[in-house]
């Protein structure tokens, strides 16, 4: 699998894409391959403050439950509503977006960077590739 070069990565398999001062966050294709198809997702509410490296959500598959860690410090400004249940419209969450397009339509949250926060601590695509290789994948 190829990890896009324009993204930054956490060791726990989240990706981050900086546009202005807003970071879009999702999980990597490798994470999905390991987890197998997601069956449940819990994301932080809009307005919630998140800390780099700290859990902000949960993703589950038939095989396992994993924490989602925020790659950066900041405040959640948007969630991918398609991944969440809309009780008013009786729309079920569409987790196939995460499964089929983890780097694109399967994005999870947008986080406005906290003052002074950066993505510098995150891995580059090459470093993340190297991590996967060193873990034997």
Partner 1 sequence: MGNYDKPRGRFHVGAALRAFIAVLNMSNLRTPLYQWHVDHKARMVPFGGWDMPVQYAGITAEHKAVRSAAGLFDISHMARVSIGGPDALSFLEGVFTNSVATMKNDQVRYGLVCNERGGILDDILVYRWPYGYSVVVNASNRPKILAWFEQHRVGKNIEMVDQTDRTAMIAVQGPKSVELVAGLFDNDVSKLKYYYATPTLYCRQPCVVSRTGYTGEDGFEVIVSNELALSLWSEFVTRGAVPCGLGSRDTLRLEAAMPLYGHELNEDVNPIQAGLGWAVKLDKGEFIGRAALAASDPTKPVRVGLEIEGKRAAREGSPLLDADGKPAGSITSGSFCPWLDKSLAMAYVRPELASVGTPLDVDVRGSTLHATVIPLPFYKRTK
Nearer to partner 1, 16 or 35 (CB): 35
Nearer to partner 1, 39 or 124 (CB): 39
Among 62, 81, 104, 121, binds partner 1 (CB under 8 A): 62
Q: Three-state secondary structure along 33-90?
A: HHHCCEEEEECCCCCCEECCCCEEEEEEECCCEEEEECCCCEEEEEECHHHCCECCCC
CB 33 within 8 A of CB 41: no
d(CA 3, CA 9): 9
CB 60 within 8 A of CB 66: yes
Which among 76, 83, 125 has a CA at the least distance from the CA of 101? 83
Q: Tell me the window of 39-47, 68-76, 104-112, 127-135 that interacts with partner 1 (CB under 8 A).
A: 39-47
Nearest-approach distance from CB 42 to partner 1, in angstroms: 8
Residue 127 interacts with partner 1 (CB under 8 A): yes or no: no
Residue 12 interacts with partner 1 (CB under 8 A): yes or no: no
Residue 94 interacts with partner 1 (CB under 8 A): yes or no: no
Q: Tell me the window of 19-27, 62-70, 101-109, 126-134 that interacts with partner 1 (CB under 8 A).
A: 62-70
Which among 48, 104, 107, 113 has a CA at the least distance from the CA of 83? 107
Residue 54 interacts with partner 1 (CB under 8 A): yes or no: no
d(CA 41, CA 26): 12
Nearer to partner 1, 58 or 126 (CB): 58
Residues in touch with partner 1 (CB under 8 A): 33, 36-37, 39-40, 42, 58, 60-65, 99
């Amino acid at each position: 699998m190829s990890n896009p070069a324009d993204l930054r990565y956490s060791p726990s398999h989240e990706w981050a894409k900086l546009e202005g001062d807003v970071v879009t966050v999702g999980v990597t294709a490798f994470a999905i391959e390991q987890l197998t198809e997601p069956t449940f997702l819990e994301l932080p509410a809009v307005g919630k403050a998140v800390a780099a490296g700290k859990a902000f959500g949960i993703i589950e598959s038939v095989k396992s439950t994993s924490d989602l860690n925020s790659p950066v410090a900041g405040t959640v400004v948007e969630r991918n509503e398609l991944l969440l249940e809309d009780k008013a419209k009786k729309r079920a969450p569409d987790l196939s977006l995460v499964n089929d397009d983890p780097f694109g339509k399967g994005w999870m949250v947008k986080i406005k960077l906290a003052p002074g926060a950066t993505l510098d601590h995150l891995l580059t695509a090459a470093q993340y590739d190297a991590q996967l290789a060193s873990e034997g994948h």
